[in-house]
C-alpha cells in the first residue's frame, strides 16, 4: 500500500477538523510521518532474505521478529538517523538538543545505533537508559527516534514477512510480525472480528471481538466500551481483568481514506479519559504516555 504525502496530509487535515483538540499532537507528528514516507520513497533500504520461518512456532505465538532477522548492520542507519532527527526537531522543538546530540554521536561513531537493533526486541530499555546517561539526552527523545527507525525498517520488510505468513493461523492479540500490542482497533460492520493495528510496524490483523487482546480473557456478556457523548464512531474497549484499554474506531462508511496511525493521534482524548479511570494502554507509545 503506497501512500503519497498529499494523501497523508489530507487525512491529517481532516482529522484535525473532526477533532480540533488534536491539532497540536498531529502538528508535532506531521513532519515525522512525512519524513518516513519520503525516506521509504527513496528506496535506500533493500529487501533482505528472511529465512527460518517456522509455522508451528508461529501458530504457538512466536512472532516473526523472534524468528527472523529484520534488521541488518548494512542498512543505511546514518541516513535514516539524519532524516528522522531533522523531522523530530521540526515537530518537537523541545527535543532539538537531544536530536543534535544523537545525530552527532552517530555520525562520529561514538554511538552505534545498530546496538539497539542487534538484540531487538529485547534489552531496548537498558540501551535507552545507557545512551540517555552517556549523551546525555532524554529517554523520551531517544525512544521517539528509535521507534521511527524501527517503523521505517519494518514497514519496508513487512510485505515480505506477510507473504511468508500466508494463511498460517495467528490467534494472538499482539502483532504477528513484530510482537507489539496494538495501539488502536477498527470495527467494521461487514466483519464479525475486529482489526488490530500495530504502530510499531504498521501491520493490521483480525482478532476476536469478545476476547481481550492483552490478557485473552473472554467475556461472555460482551466487552465494556466507553463512548464520549454523541460520538458513536470513537470508543475505548476496556478489560476489567487486566485493566487495559484499547482505543477503537467504529467505521460506518469507507468513503474516506483512513490512516490508523493518524486516527490514534487524533483520539488521544480517549487515552486521557481511560487513564484517568485507572486503565493502562496495551502498549506505551510516544503519544499515550502522559506525565503527572
Ligand atoms: Zn507489528
Ligand atoms: Zn484483559
For residue 166, the CA-to-ligand 1 centroid distance in Å is 16
Task: Domain count for the chain, please give it.
Answer: 2
pTM over 0.85: yes
For residue 201, the CA-to-ligand 1 centroid distance in Å is 4
Kindly tell me if the per-residue pLDDT of 254 is higher than 70: no
Which pLDDT tens digit goes with each residue over 31-75? 999 999 999 999 999 999 988 899 999 999 999 999 999 999 999
Residue 242 CA: which ligand is closest?
2
Domain around 246: 184-281
Given this model, what pLDDT does residue 292 score?
Answer: 39
Under the banding of pLDDT at 50, 70 and 90, the label for residue 222 is: low
Half-sphere exposure of 36 (CA within 13 A, CB side): 26
Is 255 domain-assigned? yes
Is 176 domain-assigned? no
Q: Are 137 and 218 part of one and the same domain?
A: no
* 142-150 mean pLDDT: 97
Q: Are 27 and 149 part of one and the same domain?
A: yes
Q: Are 135 and 208 part of one and the same domain?
A: no
Is 179 domain-assigned? no
Is 56 domain-assigned? yes
| Residue 4: strand, helix, or coil | coil
Residue 162 CA: which ligand is closest?
1
- Better-predicted residue by pLDDT, 189 or 87: 87
Q: Are 19 and 126 part of one and the same domain?
A: yes
Q: Are 158 and 221 part of one and the same domain?
A: no
Q: Which three cell numbers stand for residue 188?
A: 467494521
Under the banding of pLDDT at 50, 70 and 90, the label for residue 2 is: low
**At which residue does the C-alpha cell 539497539 appear?**
116
For residue 175, the CA-to-ligand 2 centroid distance in Å is 16
Given this model, what pLDDT does residue 62 score?
Answer: 98
Q: Are 85 and 217 part of one and the same domain?
A: no
Q: Are 24 and 114 part of one and the same domain?
A: yes
Is 292 domain-assigned? no
Under the banding of pLDDT at 50, 70 and 90, the label for residue 285 is: confident
Chain mean pLDDT for the chain:
92
Q: Are 24 and 159 part of one and the same domain?
A: yes
* 243-266 mean pLDDT: 84
282 exposure class (CB count in 10 Å sphere: 0-12, 13-18, 19+): buried
Q: Are 207 and 150 part of one and the same domain?
A: no
Amino acid at each position: 500500500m503506497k501512500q503519497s504525502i498529499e494523501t497523508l496530509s489530507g487525512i491529517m487535515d481532516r482529522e484535525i477538523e473532526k477533532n480540533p483538540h488534536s491539532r497540536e499532537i498531529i502538528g508535532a507528528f506531521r513532519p515525522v510521518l512525512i519524513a518516513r514516507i519520503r525516506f521509504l520513497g527513496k528506496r535506500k533500504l533493500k529487501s533482505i532474505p528472511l529465512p527460518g520461518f517456522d509455522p508451528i512456532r508461529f501458530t504457538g505465538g512466536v512472532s516473526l521478529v523472534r524468528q527472523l532477522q529484520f534488521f541488518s548492520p548494512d542498512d543505511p542507519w546514518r541516513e535514516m538517523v539524519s532524516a528522522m532527527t531533522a523531522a523530530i526537531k521540526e515537530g518537537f522543538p523541545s527535543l532539538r538538543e537531544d536530536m543534535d546530540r544523537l545525530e552527532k554521536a552517530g555520525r562520529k561513531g561514538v554511538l552505534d545505533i545498530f546496538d539497539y537493533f542487534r538484540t531487538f526486541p529485547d534489552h531496548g530499555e537498558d540501551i535507552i537508559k545507557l545512551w540517555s546517561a552517556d549523551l546525555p539526552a532524554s529517554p523520551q527523545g531517544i525512544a521517539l527516534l528509535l521507534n521511527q527507525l524501527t517503523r521505517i525498517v519494518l514497514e519496508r520488510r513487512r510485505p515480505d514477512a506477510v507473504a511468508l505468513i500466508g494463511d498460517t493461523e495467528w490467534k494472538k492479540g499482539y502483532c504477528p510480525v513484530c510482537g507489539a500490542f496494538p495501539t488502536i482497533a477498527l470495527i467494521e460492520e461487514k466483519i464479525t472480528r475486529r482489526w488490530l493495528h500495530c504502530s510499531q510496524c504498521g501491520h493490521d490483523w483480525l482478532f476476536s471481538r469478545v476476547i481481550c487482546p492483552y490478557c485473552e480473557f473472554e467475556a461472555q456478556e460482551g466487552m465494556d466500551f466507553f463512548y464520549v457523548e454523541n460520538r458513536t464512531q470513537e470508543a475505548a474497549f476496556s478489560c476489567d481483568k487486566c485493566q487495559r484499554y484499547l482505543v477503537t474506531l467504529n467505521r460506518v462508511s469507507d468513503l474516506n481514506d483512513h490512516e490508523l496511525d493518524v486516527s490514534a493521534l487524533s483520539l488521544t482524548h480517549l487515552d486521557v479519559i481511560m487513564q484517568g479511570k485507572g486503565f493502562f494502554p496495551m502498549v506505551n507509545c510516544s503519544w499515550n504516555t502522559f506525565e503527572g
